[in-house]
Each structure stands twice: as C-alpha cells, then as structure tokens.
A and B are shown apart, each in its own frame.
Chain A
Amino acid sequence: MPVNMIVCCKQVPDPEAPPAVFKVVDNRMTWPAEVKPVIGQYEEFALEAALRIKDAVGGKVTALSLGNKFVRDVIKKSLAVGGDELILLEDDAFEDGDSWSTANALAAAIKKIGAYDIIFCGRQSSDWDAGQTGLGIAELLGIPAVTLARKVEVADGKAKIEQVIPDGYRSVEVALPAVVTVTSELGALRYAALKGIMAAAKKQPVIWKPADIELEPSQVGSAGRRSQLEKLFQPVKEAKCEMIEGETPAEAGANLATRLREAKLL
C-alpha cells in the first residue's frame, strides 16, 4: 500500500553560521546576507525518513512549509531530493507566529490535503528550537504522535518506530495516521541527483493563503499567537581565552599541562 506522507519543512537562516554573526537589533534577530537560508536540519532528517519509506514501500511525499518570502531554490530542495509535491503557506499574515499559530495553520493545511498516513516533523526547528509543532499538529488533528524517531518502517497500515530514549531506544508500534518527529540519529539527507534537480526546477509549488485553509488572517502568524515575545537579548560574554603557545604544537600541549597545573585546575 503506497504511503501518503507530509513533511513539514521550515526555511531558516543557516544554523551553522558562526554564532557571532547573529545579532539582536530592536528585539529581532538579524544576520548578514552571507548567512544563507536553508531547510532546518531536523526537517532534512525528516525528509530522509519519508524518502526511505517511499523507497521501501512506495508512496507520495508532500513537503509543506509555512512562512513568507521563500527562496525558491532553497525550499525546492525537498523536491530535488525526491519529494513529489511542495505546498507553501506563503503570506505576510503567516509571519512571526508562535508554536500555537504555526501548528494550527499547518494542521489546517494538512486537513485540506486530506490524504495522509504519516506527518513528519523535525524534533525542533533550527531557529526557535521550540520542539512543539509536531506534537501540536497531532493534538489538533486528534492523531497519535511518536517523538525522537531514529528509524521508521511501515507495514499493514502501521508504523514501527525506534525512538531515542535516555541511554537507549525503544521500539513502538502505532496505527496510522500519525505524526512522527525525527531526530539526527536517523541519518543525513541524501544528496539531490542531477535528475532530481532538473525535475524540481520545472515543478511549481502550490501556494496557499490563509483563506485557502479556511483561516482568517487574525488566526495566523503574529495575530494568532498565544504567547507574547516580550524581549529578545544576547547575554554578554567576555571572551578571554588565554592562548597557550609553543615552538611546536606538542610543546604547546605540554605548556598547557604546566599552565593548568599552575592555575590549580588539577
């Protein structure tokens, strides 16, 4: 039985850009133009989870992204690696949401898509790190959710999932439809093949506005928030690293030992 999968992918500024380039200005995070947008890291793992199921038993992978001003080449990566369809909830009104308004709009879009067996999310987004959206979607749709998946297999309308738990893992079974949130142990997203990149270039994403998912602009984005952001700040860190040198790296290593001893750290 082919499996209908939806993968929720967020566009974020590259989370691996050097930390010092991120600056808070007027309660907003800013970054220089060299920091490129990417699909969030855990969403890449989630995409890989979906593609492996498609490889194994067949199915359809729809990527779903909510935001505004999507960079087409970035967000189309989901198609280039093997996704079948891309739906963008793209509108000014979708900006600056919180976990509540984001999950609510994604759940509304998923209802409109209609046919779904598994909804994949990352364990947490690579910008706000909330770790809420997948579980929120599951509650809103009234379906089960399994978090921190490192392996997902589908057979007979059920998913068998290995879930990372403290110091080990547990294997669980859940009837579909269900939400699965994916963690990094699942394994890296495959590279896009040239054929995939060419196919993606030709495909156009479907774009939905709030009205298309039967929500008022007042229910989405910043207007639909249940939590208020009062302040964003960066605690000041005084960088004061004492660099230990030597004629050779080995000598520097030995000098470090001496210095640590001197400083009574050992």
Chain B
Amino acid sequence: MADYKGILICGELANGKLASITTELLGCGRKLADDLKEDLLCLLTGEGIGEAAKEAVAYGADKVYVAEHASLKEYEADSYMQVADRLVKEVSPRAILMGQTFMGRDFGPRLAFRLQTSLATDCLDLSIDPQTRTLVQTRPVYGSNAQAVFTGEAMPQIATVRSKAMSPLERDDSRKGEIISYKVDVDVSKVRIKTLETIKEEAVGMKLEDAPVIVCGGRGLGGPDPFQTTLKELADLLNGAVGASRPPADNGWVSEALHIGLTGKIVAPDLYFAIAVSGASQHTAGCSSSKHIIAINKDPEANIFREAEFGVVGKYEEVVPALTKKLKELLAA
C-alpha cells in the first residue's frame, strides 16, 4: 500500500492570480498539514502561471506543481483528469481539497470515483482526527437544515470546500516553498466534450459577492419589474446590489448570476434585505453569514423571520418604498 502523505490543493486562478477560494483552501490546508506535520501541496494548471505559483507559496504552500498546457487554459474535465490523476498517483496525498466552485463540483466527484475513494462536497469545516490521522469532514445536508460529520478509510480522502467558509493566511512573501514545473502531455484525443461556445454575461454594476449591501427579492415580487424599480432604488441608495432567490432566476425575471443560495452564490454582506423571500433553508444557506439580515414579508410565520435580526410584516409594495423614502431623508440629514 502506498504511503499517503500531505494535503493537496487543486487550485484555481482568476485573471492570472490565485482565486480567492484557493487562498482560503491554502489557509485551511496549511493548518491540516501542520497538525499532521506534513507538506501542503498545490496544483495549478493553465497558462502563464508564474506569479500565481509564488502567491501560492506566500499563502502557505510548501510545494506548488505548475502544469502549463494550452488545453488547460479553461477547466475541462477530461484534460484536467489526465494531470490530476497522474499527480495524485505520484505524490499520494492523504487528502485532496478543492473549492465548491464550478470546477470543484464538476471535478471532485469524477476524481473520487476514478480513485475509488470518498468525497464530501461543500464542506464547512475540516479537521484531522489525531488518532487515525484522517480527515474529518463537516458538511450541510437537508438543504442546510443540519450538518453531517463524515470520515472515511479509503485514501486519499477528497473534499470540496464552500467559499468563504475558511480564512486565508496573511500573505507572506518571505515564506519559502518549492515551485515545480510539472510537465504534462495532455492527450487531446481523450477529450470527449467539445466546447462550441462560451457566453459570459457582463456584470452590470457591482458584483454580488463584493457588495456591502444586498437587496434580495423573492418569488413574492411576482415578476421582473419590482427588481428594476422598488428593489433597485433601495439598493442604489445604499450603494448595494440587487440579488434574488432561485425562483426569480428560474423564471427569467432576473439574470441567473443574481441567484443566491445553496445552488447559487454564497454571499456575506454587512446588510442583507430579504424581501418577499420565504427563507427556505436552501436560500438562507447562501446568506446566513451576512452581518445583519432584515426581512420584509407579508406572512408573519415566514421562516425568514427566524433568520432575521429586524423584520417588518407587510406587503413589500407598501413597506419598501416608505423604507427607502425615510432612509433617503435620514441619510441626507
């Protein structure tokens, strides 16, 4: 049996730099590796990675494997598998961590089944059991109504980690680490999925994940218009962004990019207004880390009032314009 050692992070880049999820994974992985007194390894794939590899060291990696290849520019499962599968077999990590991102969701399960091991997705907490030296994985289940703690004996153990669940270390450019150029020959004939076209919707205004204030509307708004008027006015006044629960996105009232929750974006603004949102656990999974939640709903029994710090029972058509008007006065004073 192979000797499994170290923690391997499958990192991701955003505009040539480490994606924030990767710095979070390195922060978490560093702690696990220290507990084990083993190395923290990081795989970066793509093109022109130089700077990001140094960043990975500065954020905690002991060894960074840089796999550069034209076919790895954008994540694609069959190319990525060729690199990851080989590296994992060569370095035999004890655990592999990735983000609960598009890539992690798509790749984590494939790798786990390829390696005949187990995977816990969307983890909120990870630790090392001192006795068995294996990973203890905590993840939400039942639409985030409960949390489950998993362990496993099959090696390596794999986990995908929710964004913002872990904290990165302070960047420290004096940290020492090894950057290894990992030569790969991706056999493109093994790529079974052909990309025909990629369409990116340009974000209008502030990115939801970065907004300090989010005004989120739900199915109770009844259609697209209130998002453009009532909600937008409040958001603009507070320099915030408009978001939505899943039904408005599914119904095409708003762009899919505004969908917040377990299967949408995870956000943690200072202020989160939930307007005509019932507060299903799958929705609050995406906003419960907000500093202050304010709920406006006509149903006094709505679950969102269990999550909120301040609440108003009433029809949004009456409550929200009055709220916006008064806030405008107060902010001008």
Contact = CB atoms under 8 A, between A and B. Distances in A.
Interface string B300-314: 000101111111111
B151 A228 contact: yes
Nearest to B74: A170
B141 A127 contact: yes
A28 B110 CA distance: 28
A142 B305 CA distance: 47
A227 interface: yes
Contacts of A145: 77, 110
A100 interface: yes
B262 A129 contact: yes
Nearest to B147: A233
Interface residues of A, number: 85
Contacts of A15: 142-143, 280, 282
Contact of B121 (A132, A237, A248): A132
A132 B323 contact: no
A261 B109 contact: no
Interface in A171-220: 171-175, 178, 183-185, 187-188
A19 B327 contact: no
A113 interface: no
B206 interface: no
Secondary structure at the B interface, as helix, strand, loop or mixed, is mixed
A229 B294 contact: no
Interface in A115-163: 123-124, 126-132, 134-136, 138-140, 144-148, 160
B114 A168 contact: no
Given A144-B193, A172-B194, A242 B280 contact: no
Given A22-B145, A165-B102, A252 B193 contact: no
A184 B196 contact: no
B38 interface: no
B308 A226 contact: no
A227 B118 contact: yes
B147 A243 contact: no
A253 B319 contact: yes
Interface of A is mostly: mixed
A251 B322 contact: yes
A241 B197 contact: no
Given A170-B197, A232-B147, A240-B309, A184 B315 contact: no
A99 interface: yes
B309 A241 contact: yes
A33 interface: no
A18 B303 contact: yes
Given A139-B110, A250-B319, A235 B118 contact: no
Contacts of B270: 265
A241 B142 contact: no
B71 interface: no
Given A249-B318, A257-B322, A266-B271, 8 more contacts: A129-B144, A131-B121, A132-B121, A165-B102, A233-B146, A249-B314, A249-B315, A265-B271
26 contacts: A19-B281, A24-B146, A29-B142, A99-B118, A128-B141, A144-B77, A148-B105, A164-B256, A175-B192, A185-B249, A226-B153, A229-B148, A229-B149, A229-B150, A233-B147, A240-B309, A241-B307, A241-B309, A245-B312, A249-B319, A250-B322, A253-B318, A253-B323, A256-B294, A259-B310, A263-B310
Interface of B: 77-78, 101-102, 105-106, 108-110, 112-114, 116-122, 136, 140-154, 192-201, 203, 238, 246, 249-250, 256-257, 262-263, 270-271, 279-282, 292, 294-296, 303, 305-315, 318-323, 325-327, 330-331
